[in-house]
Structure 1
Amino acid sequence: MHRSVRVPDAAGWLRRMLAFVGPGYLVAVGYMDPGNWATALAGGSAFGYTLLTVALVSSLMAMLLQALCARIGIATGRDLAQLCRDRFPTGVNRALWLLAEIAICATDLAELIGTAIALELLFGVPLIVGVVLTALDALLILWLQHRSVRWLEALVAGLIFLVFGCFAAQLILAQPDWAAVLAGYVPSLSIVTDERQLYIAIGILGATVMPHNLYLHTAVVQSRAYGEGMAAKREAIRFAAIDSSVALSLALLVNSAILITAAAVFHAGGRTEVAEIQEAHELLAPMVGTAAAATLFAVALLACGLNATVTATLAGQVVMEGFLGLRLPPAVRRLVTRLVAIVPAVVVTWLYGASGTAQLLILSQVLLCLQLPFAVVPLMLFASDRSRLGPLAAPRWQLVLGWAATAVIVAMNLKLLADALGG
């Protein structure tokens, strides 16, 4: 993919900016994958619209971090995994690689389970059969990679807009209280003082920033053939930041829509303990009054699951090639990642059924929480390295906000991890 998308030199600024549209959508997928659905459903059903402010703050943090990813990728010509290999000792580098691989497998596990659940809800496919069928998505990814990165970006963006359309229709059917929705974006003291609200807020934050997205974004921005001069790189950084911010705004709207739907349907209907995807699907039709609501919910889930498998595969290739300098054929890479995820999913589904997959989904998010600091902190170290970035170094205000966001994300994720391990 490297420098495979031409950026027109003589065209106007709009055409040049459109040449950079795409990588942000590959990144945005990780912010609306099936792992995010449980926290949004739980938050909306339990506390109504109150936690919308957490979704907003989480997305603003993500926009800043992904903009820094684009900056270091363009400024250095290296992705985050390659920069780690350049800077850190071999032992540290191998440890970071292993943690990144665990995070990608955990991400793949969540996507696999989400896709299998969607197949069961839509077509009645048994969960264990759906888990095995999801392995076939490797064929789609291999075909798209053979075409070009633009085909991948088009598929991902198309599925994102499908998800957005499903939830737009869902909101029309749910008829939320829009005044209360807007009030939900205003910070509330109860989020901090109420222990249950704080716990779910941490879960929403913890499920938002995905470790593999940081590695992926620093690599995919280099698919654009921007110029070598300082002015061309500054323009590339600006356009890449706009691309990712717009795409992440769509992810914010989708995550907000999930929470708003849960608040308008379940919380308003007195069902305040809905947290599992299957339970939400079962309750939607009778509580909204039409089967279309449940169908739209399942279609959106399937699109999210398929989308996220594409980006997890790309991130896996970036991590392996960057940390180890080892290149595997895409088919082999996809097979290895999927086998690591599919074995526990098949075993748990066979033994425990739907309740077991719900617990496995939660476990995958805990694993991501454990790995996140080992991706965010290196990112901020490189973003702060003026000797490496030179004139393209991030402005001070971005660094201050970036380190503050890093501290909050790491602290919240460690709290979520500690609570999860404590039962």
Structure 2
Amino acid sequence: MRYGHDEDGLQADGFRHGRGEATLAGAHRSVRVDRGSTMRRLLAFIGPGFLVAVGYMDPGNWATSIAGGSEFGYTLLAAVLLSSLMAILLQALCARLAIATGRDLAQACRDAYPKPVAIGLWLLAELAIIATDLAEVIGTAIGLKLLFGLPLAWGVVVTALDVFLVLYLQSRGFRWIEAFVATMILIIAMCFVGQLLLAQPDIAAIVGGLIPAPAIVADERMLYLALGILGATVMPHNLYLHTSIVQTRAYDLDESGRREAIRFATVDSTVALGFALLVNASILILAAAAFHGQGTGTVEDLTDAHALLAPLLGTALAPILFAVALLASGLSSTVTATLAGQIIMEGFLRLKIPVALRRLITRGLAIIPAAVIIILYGDAGAAELLVLSQVVLSLQLPFAVVPLVLFSADRRKMGALRAPVWALGLAILIAVLIVGLNAKLVIDFLMTA
């Protein structure tokens, strides 16, 4: 099988099997790229990056950022910045891989590896989708409880209805999905801007927090939270997602067209993830200003954080904004997780099932444990389950990052569109760091078990 192009325009040797049908076939190359000005062509590529960015600000990220800010103030902003820079590079590699080869990451793994290995990677990717769904179920349920007083167990059940939202958006076209997610991100950002204005954070301390402090490594608890922020930010399902949805653009398939598409897709994901960085930093800054500044100690439970905002900031508006942002985060994340689930199943197995059935299966696998834990252990159990979902995602990450980096560095697959050496070198360092952090997580768990 041959994909990519060499410098002479000839196809370069790549993955073994034929190109086959694209994942998300109904959306594949469905968004027209205008042949007008450079700006109009760039605008045609804006969208996929924001779907990816949602995964970097979903409910699962909130607990670690709130805990870090409430306990250590602004110090761990450096960890938020570092993890976001890592994400920007990895997502840029995703766009490059997809455009250079015409494959998404799931298809690339299926074609490049023996069947038992590919099946193993598929199962791990499915586990990551379930863990992602679990965080969204709990986050959405908490948002419903905080806004409308709906009991947490009932909120978990209600989240199953989101399948109708996903079906409606997909029926309207891919641009509708992107518009919905972008709207939710805008709501999240506006809510946090409002809360930060109420909290009045220390600007000098924010700037200082962006500079890595030796205490992050020296203090065991601070290092643990920093690792949690890193582990919860870069999510495995996003890598599969981005390599497919970037192919919704009908860019020219010659080498110059692909180079332009890579450039515009990289701008799209970089801008969107920069936006996600601002949101994640805002969560930590809010916790630092409202909780650490008032000496409340560590706050890890989202419900506790919501309850403390009103008395600390002196207004009932702050907790309302917090709850609205949390609900918007859960709703937008559910759309992207559904798309990622479809991509993973179609890419690894060439298996297509109705979207509603696929969504109900994965959501059911998330709802059942969430409902059982909440019934048995209450809200505290939900908070612990939210943290556990992030640990599971962190453990799955190397199995997506390592293949991505290996494929991106392979000139037979990438041809003349292979990433620059400096980018590949940084990507290898990131992969080593992620594997090392996960090894430490496992060792710490075994030693404390």
TM-score normalised by length of structure 2 = 0.93
Q: Kindly indicate whether the alpha-carbon contact (under 8 Å) linking 1:47 and 1:272 is maintained by their aligned counterparts in 2.
A: no
* 1:78 paired residue number: 103
Q: Kindly indicate whether the alpha-carbon contact (under 8 Å) linking 1:4 and 1:225 is maintained by their aligned counterparts in 2.
A: yes
* 2:356 paired residue number: 331
* 1:283 paired residue number: 308
* 1:238 paired residue number: 263
Q: Secondary structure at the match of 1:31?
A: coil
Q: Percent identity?
A: 63
For residue 371 of structure 1, what is the amino acid of its counterpart?
Answer: Q
* 1:8 paired residue number: 34
The count of corresponding residues between Structure 1 and Structure 2 is 422
1:308 to 307, 313, 333: 333
| Displacement after TM superposition at 1:416 (Å) | 2.7
* 1:170 paired residue number: 195
Q: Kindly indicate whether the alpha-carbon contact (under 8 Å) linking 1:345 and 1:357 is maintained by their aligned counterparts in 2.
A: yes
Report the aligned-residue RMSD.
0.8
| Displacement after TM superposition at 1:228 (Å) | 1.0
For residue 29 of structure 2, what is the amino acid of its counterpart?
Answer: R
Q: Kindly indicate whether the alpha-carbon contact (under 8 Å) linking 1:385 and 1:393 is maintained by their aligned counterparts in 2.
A: yes
Structure 1: stretches of 5+ with no match in the other structure: none
Q: Secondary structure at the match of 2:213?
A: coil
1:268 counterpart = 2:290: no
For residue 150 of structure 2, what is the amino acid of its counterpart?
Answer: V
Structure 2: stretches of 5+ with no match in the other structure: 1-26
For residue 63 of structure 2, what is the amino acid of its counterpart?
Answer: A
1:220 counterpart = 2:220: no
| Displacement after TM superposition at 1:370 (Å) | 1.5
| Displacement after TM superposition at 1:410 (Å) | 2.0
1:400 counterpart = 2:425: yes
CA distance in 2 between partners of 1:420 and 1:103 (Å)? 19
1:359 to 370, 376, 384: 384
Residues 1:266 and 1:351: Cα distance change in structure 2 (over 3 Å): same
Q: Kindly indicate whether the alpha-carbon contact (under 8 Å) linking 1:203 and 1:416 is maintained by their aligned counterparts in 2.
A: no
CA distance in 2 between partners of 1:55 and 1:105 (Å)? 24
* 2:17 paired residue number: none
Q: Kindly indicate whether the alpha-carbon contact (under 8 Å) linking 1:366 and 1:417 is maintained by their aligned counterparts in 2.
A: no
| Displacement after TM superposition at 1:413 (Å) | 2.8
Q: Kindly indicate whether the alpha-carbon contact (under 8 Å) linking 1:23 and 1:153 is maintained by their aligned counterparts in 2.
A: yes
* 2:411 paired residue number: 386
CA distance in 1 between partners of 2:393 and 2:289 (Å)? 30
| Displacement after TM superposition at 1:350 (Å) | 1.0
Deviation sequence 1:87-128 (CA, Å, 0-9, x none) = 100000000000000000000000100000000000000000
CA distance in 1 between partners of 2:69 and 2:123 (Å)? 35
* 1:46 paired residue number: 71
TM-score normalised by length of structure 1 = 0.99
| Displacement after TM superposition at 1:417 (Å) | 3.8
Q: Kindly indicate whether the alpha-carbon contact (under 8 Å) linking 1:369 and 1:413 is maintained by their aligned counterparts in 2.
A: yes
| Displacement after TM superposition at 1:336 (Å) | 0.9
* 2:209 paired residue number: 184
CA distance in 2 between partners of 1:294 and 1:166 (Å)? 10
CA distance in 1 between partners of 2:82 and 2:153 (Å)? 37
1:110 to 129, 132, 135: 135
CA distance in 2 between partners of 1:319 and 1:160 (Å)? 24
CA distance in 2 between partners of 1:344 and 1:109 (Å)? 8
Deviation sequence 1:45-90 (CA, Å, 0-9, x none) = 0000000011001000000000000000010001000000101000
Q: Secondary structure at the match of 1:273?
A: coil
* 1:347 paired residue number: 372
CA distance in 2 between partners of 1:222 and 1:419 (Å)? 40
CA distance in 1 between partners of 2:204 and 2:125 (Å)? 42
Q: Kindly indicate whether the alpha-carbon contact (under 8 Å) linking 1:163 and 1:303 is maintained by their aligned counterparts in 2.
A: yes
Deviation sequence 1:187-223 (CA, Å, 0-9, x none) = 1000010111100000000000000000000000000
| Aligned 1:186-205 pairs, distance under 5 A | 186-205=211-230
CA distance in 2 between partners of 1:362 and 1:417 (Å)? 15
- Greater share of residues in helix: 1
For residue 279 of structure 1, what is the amino acid of its counterpart?
Answer: D
